[in-house]
Amino acid sequence: MLTHKNLVMTDALYDYLRRVSLRESAVAEQLRTATAALPNARMQVPPEQGQFLALLVRLMGARRCLEIGTFTGYSALAVASALPPDGVLVACDVSEEWTAIARQFWAAAGVADRIALRLGPARETLAALIAAGEAGSYDFAFIDADKPNYDAYYEAVLTLLRPGGLIVFDNMFLGGRVLDPDDTSESVRAIRALNEKLHHDERVFIAMLPLADGVTLALKQA
Ligand code: CA
């Protein structure tokens, strides 16, 4: 058995992490606070994860991005803020209600013109992008939506990415439920199967990070 060398994240250490590294715009902080009051607040990515996505987008010099699962728009705000002025983020979600909040904060942050919100089932939106000839044209994608469809999102997004493009998957630990043999829910089975598939999928280079609820990076092979 491998011994892990990660520190156990205590509240004090997590507080320290945020205190010495978090850079969050005023609008992002307002959006996070507004979302925290909602019943589905835990669907929001933590701010250090938004900052990490923004760093990846800058690192890659990404111009064309995809997001599957937008909710109230925190991660989209982080990604769009890291794009050049002519960059675009296609943000997919099914909820008019949650994304109405998102749009309000994207406008306040001055990035609304970089975000193309596509309301509707993301599988259909991604299929439409492929049908429109956009395969191979995206640099970066964040997948953070309904878990049973993750594998379908992965396959469609992999088609839409250019070689060297990056996919970031959220919630690959599912709160630790992936380890519970008694948990055979559809979401858990889907994430377990995808983790096992990604482990040996030669179309991508991968790294799985114990960040937030488990984040897997998958870089499309050239
Ligand atoms: Ca998530």
Distance 110 CA to ligand 1 centre (A): 24
**What would the pLDDT profile of 40-78 be if each residue is shown by its tens digit?**
999 999 999 999 999 999 999 999 999 999 999 999 999
For residue 160, pLDDT over 90 is answered with yes
Amino acid 8: pLDDT: 82
Amino acid 163: pLDDT: 98
Distance 3 CA to ligand 1 centre (A): 27
* Mean residue pLDDT across the chain: 96
Cβ(139)–Cβ(58) below 8 Å: no
For residue 162, pLDDT over 90 is answered with yes
Residue 81 has which token pair?
């803020």
| Environment of ion ligand 1 (residues, CB < 5 A) | 144, 170-171
Amino acid 6: pLDDT: 72
Q: Which of 197, 155, 195, 162 is nearest to 65 (CA)?
A: 162
Amino acid 9: pLDDT: 86
**What would the pLDDT profile of 80-94 be if each residue is shown by its tens digit?**
999 999 999 999 999
The mean per-residue pLDDT over the stretch 32-47 comes to 94
Please name each of the domains of the chain with its CATH number: 11-220 (3.40.50.150)
Confidence class for position 5, pLDDT limits 50, 70, 90: confident
Distance 166 CA to ligand 1 centre (A): 17
pTM: 0.96
Distance 133 CA to ligand 1 centre (A): 29
Amino acid 1: pLDDT: 63
Distance 45 CA to ligand 1 centre (A): 6
Distance 19 CA to ligand 1 centre (A): 23
Distance 171 CA to ligand 1 centre (A): 5
